[in-house]
Structure 1
């Protein structure tokens, strides 16, 4: 009894479709866009940190140990959590859930 895979000749075909180059080019573009989006996100986080802890509208890499708030710096994340809690309670229904996937699903499905 001869099986379909008993002939190893079909395993030697290393040809590929020219569309692979298009897919690879698209992957490079998407990866580059993701890289720049990540860099922009890091800069936005740095900006928000500088505004919240130092009162400066700056992208400088400031150390949190030098904040003029002293021990009151502990209150900054607490205030942020309270703001997010109020937004979730009294704001849009779309931001409630257990994370990013639920938020994306709610926005896409219009719930």
Structure 2
């Protein structure tokens, strides 16, 4: 399912990129063609392409806002077998160790702000 979503997203992005390239080419016509009177069809096409380009920019802006607005992230997960896992979850910059099994999910502890590499360096000094 994820592969299909990824493929569909990539295909959509390629399609929109093509539309944007066409819009840019249409906006930057050479001066010899720019002197020709524009037909209603060309004007309509340019307006549609400009609207599509503006719409794409809006979608990208919203998407980047959603990505940056996420407060909850799973930093790392390890399987313990038999539907049991340990996960490090980051919430607003704080990290928590979460255990999960078929019976439910449980907060095990809040982790220190120091990363494991920093604590190892401090112990060795």
Fold match by TM threshold 0.5: no
Q: TM-score range by the shorter chain?
A: 0.3 to 0.5
TM-score (norm. length: structure 2): 0.32
TM-score (norm. length: structure 1): 0.36
1 or 2, which has the higher helix percentage? 1
1 or 2, which has the higher strand percentage? 2
